[in-house]
Amino acid sequence: MKYTQLGRTGLKVSRLVLGTMNFGPQTDEADSHAIMDAALDAGINFFDTANVYGWGENKGRTESIIGNWFAQGGERRDKVVLATKVYANMAANPDAWPNHDKLSALNIRRAVDASLKRLRTDYIDVYQFHHIDRTTPFEEIWQAIDVLVQQGKILYVGSSNFPGYKIAQANEIAARRGGTIGLVSEQCLYNLAERRAEMEVIPAAREYGLGVIPWSPLHGGLLGGVLKKEVQGGRRASGRAAEALADPAVRAQIQSYEDLLDKHGIEPGEAALAWLLTRPGVTGPIVGPRTAEQLESALRASELELSDELLTSLDEIFPGPGPSPEAFAW
């Protein structure tokens, strides 16, 4: 496994990030533990979760599964760079009381303590804002974070789903306050089929020294050989992938993508992950395996070298927006 610095920090993380969103809703606890063991054995040390994972009446369940895994010992917690997120309403009845969501100082304090309890640890390596909060000023957010850092409950802070201007605003206010390192990572939707992050988000992240952590690297399965699986009678597309394939132009684009990779003898999902690892500013994509086999495929992708010819062909099928502001100015 290859490692890199997380943005401008001294923290070393694996170039694949283990996403845990499926742990609980789709993968039971025993299989989730087995996947985490296999990931750690393969050298993946960066695990990502969120307080809301588990969803609905089971929100928080994923963090609890991870906490139970840490409790098994074997230096599991010491070996892992743990990232979780705050923003969603975690109250049993979200409509009953205010102040149980978003990024107020009160909710940040409440949420981090609840996550620590579920995760069965006394600190979180990277505490991430799951969404922008349009009502809470960053002065208040950073004041709350400073307290948590001083208490030793969190070490670094990252963002998720932030536009470029909010990354800039957050870090400029952090710099003015002094003593606050600010955001060190941004977790955003980014893959071959969805490259809008290249216009503003990734340039802002690189300018301010944030490591970029792409989520949905296979775009909901669209880039994972979905048409080939249809022909073979395998798992059919659903969600984002199914919606996209309803467009004949997108279906033709995906067919060209799969035909190209078939010619090169490369699995589509592995090529999509390997492509992200070539992108400037990318720390590592989040892979969210439901099974051990899916983890093995991601590990193969981390060792895959894409030729310049293939990278050019992928750009022709999935052209990026181009640099900002030229991409939208003329």
User: 50 falls in which pLDDT band (50, 70, 90)?
Assistant: very high
Q: What are phi and psi of 3, to 5 degrees?
A: -125, 160
- Quick check: is 87 catalytic? no
Q: In the prediction, which pLDDT does 242 show? A: 86
Check whether 234 has a pLDDT greater than 80: no
pLDDT tens sequence across 167-208: 999 999 999 998 889 999 999 999 999 999 999 999 999 999
CA–CA separation, 11 vs 4, rounded Å? 8
**Is the model more confident about 26 or about 237?**
26
Q: In the prediction, which pLDDT does 230 show? A: 85
pLDDT tens sequence across 269-303: 999 999 999 999 999 999 999 999 999 999 999 99
Closest CA to 46 of 14, 22, 75: 14
pTM above 0.85, yes or no: yes
Check whether 224 has a pLDDT greater than 90: yes
User: 117 falls in which pLDDT band (50, 70, 90)?
Assistant: very high
Say how many residues make up the chain.
Answer: 330
Q: Two tokens at 171?
A: 């870090």
Q: What letters, b where the CB count within 10 A reaches 16 and e where it falls short, cover 254-275?
A: beebbebbeeeebbbbbbbbbb
Helical residues (DSSP H) of 152-267, grouped into ranges: 164-177, 201-207, 226-231, 239-245, 248-264
Q: In the prediction, which pLDDT does 59 show? A: 97
Helix (H, G, I), strand (E, B) or coil at 96: coil
**What percent of the chain shows pLDDT beyond 70?**
99
Question: CB of 133 within 8 A of CB of 88?
Answer: no
Q: In the prediction, which pLDDT does 235 show? A: 67
Mean residue pLDDT across the chain: 96
CA–CA separation, 251 vs 259, rounded Å? 12
User: 211 falls in which pLDDT band (50, 70, 90)?
Assistant: very high
User: 250 falls in which pLDDT band (50, 70, 90)?
Assistant: very high
Which of 53, 127, 190, 208 is labelled catalytic?
53
* Range 105-127 average pLDDT: 98
Q: What are phi and psi of 286, to 5 degrees?
A: -85, 120
Question: CB of 52 within 8 A of CB of 115?
Answer: no
Residue 194: strand pairing partners: 191
pLDDT tens sequence across 58-112: 999 999 999 999 999 999 999 999 999 999 999 999 888 899 999 999 999 999 9
